[in-house]
Structure 1
Amino acid sequence: MTRPVAVGLDGSPAGLAAADWAAREALRRDLPLRLVHVWEWQPYTHAPLVGTDAPRLWSERIPREAAAELRNRYPELEIAADHLTGPPQEVLCDVARESELLALGSGGLGRLAGFFLGSVAMSTVAHTERPVVLVRAGTTAVDEHRPATDGRQLRAMPYRPVVLGLDLSRPCLDVIRFAFETAALRAAPLRVIHGWNPPAFFTYGVGVDPGLRADMAAQETDALRTALRRWQEKYPGTDVIEQSVIGQPAHHLVDAGAEAGLVVIGRRVNRLAAGPARIGHITHAVLHHCPAPVAVVPHD
């Protein structure tokens, strides 16, 4: 069974930007596109002024009109439009389970405030076990490519790099695989950022061998190269840029996102822990502040 690239639409500009991004991604992956809008019926405490059918009819138009626009823009793409009913986060998780990936929109709050993620998007990211890509409002095909200085057409312009945030303390083969596949589909370079911090006693500098810090940095760099070696052999055509950096990983990833076409991060799925699912503080920070689309890939 062929898994489509799916999009959760809510009628917002961010949702339409996510749909356009997903259409291009579906073409790159040679997959169909599935547009989904979820309608959750709410009981009325009083009779609505415009009639009981108006909200539902508006809801039904969202995927249909988006599909018509995308068919005009990408006539070679197979597109399905679905109007589903139920709790949005639960329905979107079901849609994601049947998809190669799910794209959702992220509304802008300004350069300093970051990007707004509603409760539905956050819950979907936290609970689904398929990759979810968050796309900010205003993202276009131009943003995926490096700026042209000689008037070349968009299709001739090289793609911006894919950025992968890698935590070497946990197994994350699914995250690495997704990043390499995505970069290979674009013929884009892959920039791998591994953030680490030295022990706390380095902060005080008491009795620390000056060469110890350099030795630790070299060990982290070697560990990063070892983790990526088999994947570089599998994807020999992908240019890999390895960066082992000191400091908060989220800060480095957000900074790298300014020049990236896509940022890829992992989310650990803890099947044994009780309580609500979490996305982690690094993923949370990147989702809210990264200017580029962000792919969250679950892993054990």
Structure 2
Amino acid sequence: MSAMAKHLVVGIDGSSASAAAAVWAGEEAAAVGADVLLLNVWQPPTGDTQVSPTPDILRLCEEEQLRVAAAKLIARNPRLDVGMEQVTGTPATALVDAATAGDEIVLGSRRLGRIAGYLYGSVGLHVVAHSDCPVVLVRAPGSRPGGAGAGVVLALDLDRPSEALTAFAFEEASARGAALRVVYVWDVRGLYGYGGPMTDRQEAARMRHERGRELALFIEPWRAAFADVEVTADVVAGPVTDCLVKAGQDCALLVAGRRRRHLPVGVRIGPVTHAVVHHAPCPVAVVPHD
């Protein structure tokens, strides 16, 4: 089983979304005994074009954003260890390089609308796809569902369960003193097509019951290892993405996995995780695993 992150690296760009990410990281760090690194990536203007204010003044303004964010975190929790760093380079690459496998990266998002969901541009998706550590995507202020006492939801692929993913979810729930709901989505039509077991209700019920038994057996040793965590395990029937987005309506954190793919080019995080990242209303933790 994995250990909780010791360092939370937060991308700070002056937006309200990054401010929300910093607040989330401060609460997380206080809960798990970690420290926070606020990271600003400065990209100097290219070419010979003269701009006003000057590039150096712009850089200092972004540096000031780090100090403001750090002061707010320390005001909320004076015992929190908060570091600040400004680096020059490409934001996506700098964020990935700043975190080791034992860290956690926290990024903010902006909301597109009630139906469209949330936006992660090339930077956020690149970080999710290439980071060797968990990446938490935090919604902008006012869009977080779940309040005090809200639980953690683990999206589990029962056919290819991950120890790293499961450990992360249990550790998060334990650190927060929160309940954990483990969800396996049984998409009958996605697995078997429209002419599958739904044509025989007894057979469909039997298969769903068998999946539930497998889920209970998988979770049993984790229950024993985390006796302080209240755990429920559900087999939910329906389209995978829709069910997971619905599961995130009232939770404090939705935990999903990403299989490591060492691709020379491109961004691949899997269609389900990609959809959850954009549409789940709660913070989403994407955990890489083999």
Per the TM superposition, whether the score is higher than 0.5 is: yes
| Structure 2 residue runs without a partner (length 5+) | none
* Offset, 1:98: 6.0
RMSD: 2.1
* Offset, 1:90: 0.8
Residue range with higher mean Cα deviation, 191-200 or 120-129: 191-200
Q: Which residue of 2 aligns with 1:155?
A: none
Query: Does residue 280 of structure 2 align to residue 290 of structure 1?
Result: yes
In 2, the alpha carbon distance for the partners of 1:180 and 1:109 equals 31
Alignment equivalent of 2:92, drawn from 80, 89, 105 = 89
* Offset, 1:205: 6.7
Alignment equivalent of 1:63, drawn from 62, 66, 71 = 66
In 2, the alpha carbon distance for the partners of 1:10 and 1:186 equals 28
| Structure 1 residue runs without a partner (length 5+) | 147-158
- Residue identity over aligned pairs, in percent, reads 39
Query: Does residue 120 of structure 2 align to residue 106 of structure 1?
Result: no
Residue range with higher mean Cα deviation, 230-239 or 196-205: 196-205
1:33-48 alignment to 2 at 5 Å? 33-48=36-51
In 2, the alpha carbon distance for the partners of 1:207 and 1:255 equals 22
Q: Secondary structure at the match of 1:296?
A: strand
Structure 1 pair 9–98 and aligned structure 2 pair: CA distance change class (3 A): farther
Please tell me whether the aligned partners of residues 36 and 83 of structure 1 are also in contact (alpha carbons under 8 angstroms).
Answer: yes
Query: Does residue 218 of structure 2 align to residue 218 of structure 1?
Result: no
Please tell me whether the aligned partners of residues 38 and 86 of structure 1 are also in contact (alpha carbons under 8 angstroms).
Answer: yes
The aligned amino acid for 2:18 is G
In the superposition, the TM-score normalised over structure 2's length comes to: 0.92
Please tell me whether the aligned partners of residues 192 and 243 of structure 1 are also in contact (alpha carbons under 8 angstroms).
Answer: yes
* Offset, 1:64: 1.5
Q: Which residue of 1 aligns with 2:236?
A: 245
* Offset, 1:51: 2.2
* Offset, 1:230: 1.0
Alignment equivalent of 1:16, drawn from 19, 24, 27 = 19
Please tell me whether the aligned partners of residues 187 and 240 of structure 2 are also in contact (alpha carbons under 8 angstroms).
Answer: no
Q: Secondary structure at the match of 1:264?
A: strand
The aligned amino acid for 2:37 is R
Alignment equivalent of 2:186, drawn from 189, 193, 196 = 196
* Offset, 1:113: 1.1
Structure 1 pair 55–222 and aligned structure 2 pair: CA distance change class (3 A): same
Following superposition, which runs of at least 4 residues in structure 1 exceed 3 angstroms of deviation?
Answer: 199-202, 204-210
In 2, the alpha carbon distance for the partners of 1:221 and 1:160 equals 24
Q: C-alpha offsets along residues 106-136 of structure 1, whole Å, 9 cap, x if unaligned?
A: 1111111101112111100010010000001
Q: Which residue of 2 aligns with 1:257?
A: 248
Query: Does residue 167 of structure 2 align to residue 177 of structure 1?
Result: yes
Structure 1 pair 135–207 and aligned structure 2 pair: CA distance change class (3 A): closer
Please tell me whether the aligned partners of residues 3 and 98 of structure 1 are also in contact (alpha carbons under 8 angstroms).
Answer: no
Q: Secondary structure at the match of 2:217?
A: helix
Q: Which residue of 1 aligns with 2:147?
A: 145
Q: Which residue of 2 aligns with 1:149?
A: none
Please tell me whether the aligned partners of residues 42 and 87 of structure 2 are also in contact (alpha carbons under 8 angstroms).
Answer: yes
Please tell me whether the aligned partners of residues 188 and 197 of structure 2 are also in contact (alpha carbons under 8 angstroms).
Answer: no
Please tell me whether the aligned partners of residues 202 and 208 of structure 1 are also in contact (alpha carbons under 8 angstroms).
Answer: no
Residue range with higher mean Cα deviation, 36-45 or 228-237: 36-45
Alignment equivalent of 2:120, drawn from 117, 120, 128 = 117
Please tell me whether the aligned partners of residues 182 and 233 of structure 2 are also in contact (alpha carbons under 8 angstroms).
Answer: yes
Aligned length: 285
Q: Secondary structure at the match of 2:209?
A: helix
